[in-house]
Structure 1
């Protein structure tokens, strides 16, 4: 996805929050913000990729502060929130075991995002209303047809916390006798899931876990490893979780692939791109 005008202040907001999480050195943070301004002045234009631009800013902050995982505390908070609501959503699924309900719960987990929201956002207050909302775009019927048609699925994971709810959808997907490959980030960025996060919540029982080979916000095709590029290129059935993966995959030729975007609309740029409202929940086939 190309940037919208409001992406610029969002980059600055995320940069400030990442710096505050990464270090207490005020002089370093001033220098870092100068570097961010300089980077945006050179690279922010109507053709810039939104998730690639954000990825480069976060990498810059990690390198200059020496903090490899600024959001480590927020990642634990996300898991704690997800585990708190897990019994409730499991009860909902016991009462309605449909694929659509599993999809909805997985999308609801996408609210656990400390990148799209400000750090002081009360994310828990967004979860309960979400349980009662219909999907704004609902391509679940097409998903079920593709689950019956394909033998292999590439599942692009997003955030910690969210991956707890992904387990419930993966349980349902397993009923379709399909081989699953789960993709995570090579190194921490924002609160995205890495290998150890996925293993910690037991995702390894659903299929092989692979790294995209880098630490980008979502998939940036030009930066993924050769090993993952081969996996991605050969995948004809993909479930993509979250905003970053949506932003990245809309920059990729997906011809010949059945790709489903599962996300909650958490910023005005995505809302414009999909012609939806904030907090709308979506399962959209490419």
Structure 2
């Protein structure tokens, strides 16, 4: 997906947060912000890919501050919030164990995104209200057809915290006899899940964990490893979690694949691109 004018202030907001989490050196933050202004002045234009731009900016901050995982504490917090609501979520699933409900819970987990929300947002209240909402777009029938049709699926996870709820959907998918390959980031970026967080959450109980070969905002096709490209190309059925993966995957030809996007539309640019309202929860086939 290409950037819109609204991505500009979002990049700067993310840059400020990442720097505040990485260092207390005010002079260094001034130096880095100056470089980010220069970088954006050269790269922020029509046709620019949002994922690549954000990834380069965050990696610039990591390199300059020496802090390779700025959102370390936020990732822990994300898991804690998800675990806090897990009993309530399991109660909901006990009352209605439909595939649609499992999908809905997994999408609610996508709300735990410090790339889209500010650190001061009341994420817990958003989760509470989302539990009462229905999916705006729900290609459930097509999704279940794919689960019955294919022997293998590639599941692209998104955020730490969110993966606690992903685990529930993965358990439901296993009931269809599908072999699951679960893809995580190779290096920290924002609060995205890497191998340690995936193992801690127990995702390996439901499928084979693999790394995509890079630490990018969402999926950036030019940055994935050769090993992961083989895995990606070999799968005809893909489940993509989150906005970042949507932004990246819609940049490449997926005509030979059945791919389903599960996400909460947390920004206006994404909402407009898909044709939905802000905060809508979606399962749709692209």
TM-score category (smaller protein)? over 0.9
Counterpart position of 2:284: 284
Q: How far apart, in 2, do the equivalents of 1:92 and 1:151 lie?
A: 29
Cross-structure match for 1:253: 253
| Matched pairs, number | 286
For 1:10, the equivalent position in structure 2 comes to 10
SS at match of 2:146: helix
Output the aligned Cα RMSD: 0.6
The structural deviation recorded for 1:278 is: 1.3
TM-score, normalised with respect to structure 1: 0.99
Which residue of the partner structure matches residue 134 of structure 1? Answer: 134
* Alignment-derived partner of residue 31 in structure 1: 31
The SS at the match of 2:259 is strand
Tell me how far 1:108 sits from its aligned partner: 0.3
Separation of aligned partners in 1, 2:181 and 2:196: 16
Runs ≥4 residues deviating over 2 A:
none
The 5 A counterparts of 1:101-250 are 101-250=101-250
Q: Which residue of 2 aligns with 1:100?
A: 100
Residues of 2 paired with 1:216 and 1:201: CA distance?
A: 21
Please list the CA deviations of residues 92-151 of structure 1 after superposition, one character each: whole Å capped at 9, or x if unmatched. 000000000000000000000111001110100101111111111111110000000000
Q: Distance in 1 between matches of 2:15 and 2:76?
A: 20
Q: Offset of 1:284 from its aligned partner?
A: 1.0
Aligned to 1:90: 90
- 1: CA distance, partners of 2:203 / 2:275: 33
SS at match of 1:279: coil
Q: Distance in 2 between matches of 1:124 and 1:82?
A: 9
CA distance in 2, matches of 1:72, 1:233: 32
Q: CA deviation at 1:277?
A: 1.2
Quote the offset at 1:256 in angstroms. 1.0
Unaligned residue ranges in structure 2 (runs of 5+): none
In 1, Cα distance between the equivalents of 2:32 and 2:234? 40
Alignment partner, residue 48 of structure 1: 48
**Structure 1 residue matching 2:110: 3-state secondary structure:** helix
In 2: Cα distance, 1:140 partner to 1:73 partner? 35
Deviation at 1:235, TM superposition (A): 1.2
Which consecutive residues of structure 1, in runs of 5 or more, have no partner in the other structure? none
State the Cα deviation string for residues 20-53 of structure 1 (Å, max 9, x = none): 0000111110110111111111111111011111
Q: Secondary structure at the match of 1:61?
A: helix
SS at match of 1:222: helix
- Output the TM-score relative to the length of structure 2: 0.99
Distance 1:151 1:46 in 2: 40
Query: Aligned partners of 1:232, 1:218: CA distance in 2, in Å?
Result: 15
